[in-house]
Homo-oligomer: A and B are copies of this chain.
Amino acid sequence: MVQKSGRSNPSRGLAGGKASKPVSGDNSSAPAATPPRKRGRPRAFEPDVALKQALDTFRQTGFSATSLDDLSAAMGINRPSLYGTFGDKRELFMKAYQRYRMETNALFAPAFDPKLNVRQMLEMVFAIAIKIYLSGEKGPRGCFTVMTAASEAMADPEIRAVVQKAISNADRTFAERFQQAVTQGQLPASTDSDAVAKLVSASIQSIAIRSRAHAPRTELEGIARSMIDLVAGPQR
């Protein structure tokens, strides 16, 4: 019943090339490139912003509880257009999740500036995490990876794989940074970088969980502070 579209898939050429758009500030309606207009009727929507709306909707209500009507309405796209551009609901979910990962990786990147010491890095990481998890027009949204791990990752091996990758990636990023801090003398030589990294990840995941349960911001910040002090020593 899968019915691979036998005819040429038009989104192929587009999807391959424009993976990431820098979203620069000067997008004043005149992308100087003036992309070569394709043959037929032009799209009435921007795939990237539509995908962002889909992501927001999925983050709000999760995969199962989000209907295609919800998505269609939030994205401002008719169902057939949605299908033609993003595939079925599951494909759309995967693309939205992929976008989420790119987006949040970019948001966290500044915290890993090598000029920052470990404490500064952690303070930035937690601040960014709390900001992300509490953002949202309709209340806090938590972490999409944690949400997905708790729900879809169970039954869907492919989704589980990307979630595993996201979690282990976070662990590894912290571990490498801590190991580096040990060699730089910012952390004691006895530090178990892998272990500490997983505990930091754990506290971030807990912040995500609690944020979705509407825990007060002070509670989230308290967890962050405790973890920072535990890793980098009490506040000077």
Interface residues of A (CB under 8 A from B): 60-65, 139, 142, 146-147, 149-151, 153-155, 160, 163-164, 167, 192, 194-196, 198-199, 201-203, 205-207, 209-210, 212-215, 219, 222-223, 225-227, 230
Minimum CB distance partner of A153 in chain B: B213
The reply to whether A154 and B212 contact each other, CB–CB distance below 8 Å, is: yes
Minimum CB distance partner of A155 in chain B: B61
The reply to whether A164 and B215 contact each other, CB–CB distance below 8 Å, is: yes
20 contacts between A and B (CB under 8 A): A60-B154, A60-B155, A61-B155, A62-B154, A64-B64, A65-B151, A146-B209, A147-B150, A147-B151, A149-B210, A151-B151, A164-B213, A167-B209, A195-B223, A198-B222, A199-B199, A202-B223, A203-B203, A205-B206, A205-B209
Given contacts A199-B226, A202-B205, A205-B202, contact A212 B61 (CB under 8 A): no
Pick from B64, B206, B225: contact of A62, CB under 8 Å: B64
**What is the distance, in angstroms, from A167's C-beta to the closest C-beta of chain B?**
6
The reply to whether B149 and A212 contact each other, CB–CB distance below 8 Å, is: yes
Minimum CB distance partner of A192 in chain B: B226
How far does the alpha carbon of A26 sit from the alpha carbon of B24 in the complex, in Å?
Answer: 72
The reply to whether B213 and A167 contact each other, CB–CB distance below 8 Å, is: yes
How far does the alpha carbon of A126 sit from the alpha carbon of B151 in the complex, in Å?
Answer: 23
**What is the distance, in angstroms, from A60's C-beta to the closest C-beta of chain B?**
7
Residue from the set A201, A212, A215 with the largest chain B CB neighbour count within 10 Å = A212
Given the complex, which residues of B lie within 8 Å of A194, measured CB to CB? 222
How far does the alpha carbon of A223 sit from the alpha carbon of B192 in the complex, in Å?
Answer: 12
The reply to whether B64 and A213 contact each other, CB–CB distance below 8 Å, is: no
